[in-house]
Amino acid sequence: MSVLARSVGNAFRNKIRTAAVVAVLAVAIGLALSMLVANQAVGAKVQELNASVGTTLTVNPAGGQGFEGGGEPLTAAEAATAAAVPNITSVVGTKALRLRTETTTTDTADAAAGAAQPDAGGPGGQAASVTTSLTAAVDAGTLGNRNNTGSGTGTGTTNGTEPARTFTLPITATGTAAEVDSSGKALDITSGTGLGDYSAASTKALVGTTLAEKNNLKVGSTFTIAGKTYTVAGIFDAGTTFGNNAVYLTLAEAQALAETPGELSSMVVTVNSMENVDSTKTALQAALGASKADVTQGQRNLETAVSSLNSVKGISLVAYIAALATAGLIILLIMVMLVRERRREIGVLKAIGARNRTIGLQFVLEALVLVALGSVVGAAIASFASGGIASALVSSNSSTAAGATGQRGPGGGPGGPFGGATQLLTSVTASASPGVIAAGIAAVFAVAIIGALVPALLTARIRPIEVLRGE
């Protein structure tokens, strides 16, 4: 009988024990693979943040932060000044617009209550408000009505006599000089194409997925803004409900709609490397002037987010090594037990001329059969559990970090610098890719070979007469 056939047969000699060993190995291997997948996913997220958000600066008008801000709008001249600063690779100007559904904005009651609808949405409250045939994809709900009416509930009466009015939320429209969003991240166009030349006026538009669905739009459909017809060139997915309730136009077209040619609501500045971000931020602020512009890091929570993600990455790596070592220890103990049970068999094989490597190979192959079965079940476990384990690690770490800072936002939610970092952390998605699973299983097999060889070779070195005498 060949060594391979004998090894496979020995693996199933005691079916109950084999099933128990495979089950234990499956749990250990599944945990190891899940941790490896989580480690890879977090590492990829860190690289993504460092490559995009980490090298982005945002320039707003000085004092322009929310609808309560002010200041003077930015211009194309400031964009040229920014582009001349060393280490800056690109400057993308944007122009913010607020689109209100025509049936709402032309209502006389709305016109009379214009003061109750702050023209927010862009830096410094500079977002121009124009009409559109589109209907917002986000319902105002309790929060929207509360924020617009100031009544606290959005229902009941206003000033004690008039019924409280229900508002329709505006649609965010952004004119941009490149195919990026307001944070500098490339737009994810799921169907159709981009706008071509983003610096020229165009009647093409990009529409968010939920806004397109709400208005039954697809590539080639048309809608109006300020009475002008626009064609849907592409549909994008921003990843959030609010982000998908939006329209992107070319910069020149948005400036024309707002009747502010040459003006910018903000600028997205990309630096050539993370190492140069701090120095470039200082140089850019000096070039533009503190009284003219406010320069902030595109994602001020990046450092906190990356630090937390690196913690999760370290935890997952340690857990992976521990689970891998556990699987190796299980193999080692099982093989020690099997070798002790088969001392007489080993003695007979040695007596008839079997070499040490032949005996060692037999036990290694037997161990690999058990590991192969455990790996199949473990891979299935990892496929289903890796996402949940990664989310649990990330959520636990972000909650711990948020609690350590002691910072809370409005309504008791996470606030301060960690608020945005939590959003970045929870956006980590782990999926068990074939490459990662294969690498993990290869590591398990390597550990199994070591765990099986050690007891087999130690016993194989014993002389046959000593083994047979002890039986």
Lowest mean pLDDT segment, chosen from 43-47, 103-107, 369-373, 436-440: 103-107
pLDDT tens per residue, range 445-461? 888 888 777 776 666 66
pLDDT of residue 384: 81
149 in a structural domain:
yes
Q: Where are the beta strands (DSSP E) in 116-196?
A: 128-132, 157-158, 162-163, 171-176, 189-192
Distance, in Å, from the CA atom of 209 to the CA atom of 386, rounded to the nearest integer, reads 28
- Residue 299 maps to a domain: no
**88-101 and 128-132: which strand pairing?**
parallel
Looking at the fold, whether 322 and 286 belong to one and the same domain comes out as no
Whether residues 89 and 41 share a domain: the answer is no
What sign does the dihedral 235-239-242-243 (CA atoms) show?
negative
Residue 131 domain-assigned (yes or no): yes
Domain boundary among 257, 291, 325: 291
Q: How far is 257 from 251, CA to CA, in rounded Å?
A: 10
Better-predicted residue by pLDDT, 453 or 28: 28
Query: What 3 state SS string does 295-335 have?
Result: EEECCCCHHHHHHHHHHHHHHHHHHHHHHHHHHHHHHHHHH
Q: What is the pLDDT of residues 346-363, one digit of tens each?
A: 777 777 777 777 777 777
- pLDDT confidence of residue 305: 64
Judge if 25 and 70 occupy the same domain. Answer: no
pLDDT tens digits, 80-128 = 999 999 999 989 999 988 888 886 444 444 433 333 333 444 444 455 6
Q: Tell me, yes or no, whether 215 and 309 share the same domain.
A: no
C-beta of residue 442 within 8 angstroms of C-beta of residue 33? no
Instruction: Tell me, yes or no, whether 457 and 394 share the same domain.
Output: yes
Domain final residue pick, 230, 257, 291: 291
- pLDDT, one tens digit per residue, over 181-206 is 766 778 889 999 999 888 899 999 99
Determine the structural domain holding residue 340 and report its residue range: 3-50+304-469
Spatial separation of the C-alpha atoms in residues 166 and 139, rounded to whole Å:
10
Instruction: Answer whether residue 35 is part of any domain.
Output: yes
CA distance 324 to 331: 11
Residue 114 shares a structural domain with residue 241: yes
For the chain, the average pLDDT equals: 76
Residues 364 and 257 in one domain: no
Domain assignment present for 444? yes
Q: How many domains does the chain have?
A: 2
Residues 239 and 287 in one domain: yes
| Residue at 141 is within a domain | yes
CA separation for the pair 173, 449 (Å, rounded) = 61
Strand partners, 443: none
Q: List all residues 6 or more positions away from 196 whose beta carbon is below 8 Å from its beta carbon.
A: 202, 204
The residue from 244, 266, 291 where one domain ends is 291
pLDDT score for 19: 87
Tokens representing 66 are 């929310």
Q: Evaluate whether residue 105 is within a structural domain.
A: yes
- Examine the domain organization and report whether 336 and 217 are in the same domain: no
Q: Per the structure block, which two tokens stand in for 128?
A: 């121009």
Identify which of 320, 398, 423 has the alpha carbon closest to the alpha carbon of residue 40. 320
- Report the predicted TM-score, pTM, of the whole model to 2 decimal places: 0.55
pLDDT surpasses 60 at 391: yes
Per-residue confidence band for 251, with pLDDT thresholds at 50, 70 and 90: very high
Mean pLDDT throughout 267-276? Answer: 84
212 and 354 fall within a common domain: no
Query: Is residue 109 domain-shared with residue 234, that is, in the same domain?
Result: yes
**Does 58 map to a domain?**
no
Dist. CA 231–CA 34, nearest whole Å: 46
Q: Are residues 225 and 357 in the same domain?
A: no
The C-alpha atoms of residue 67 and residue 242 are separated, in whole angstroms, by 18
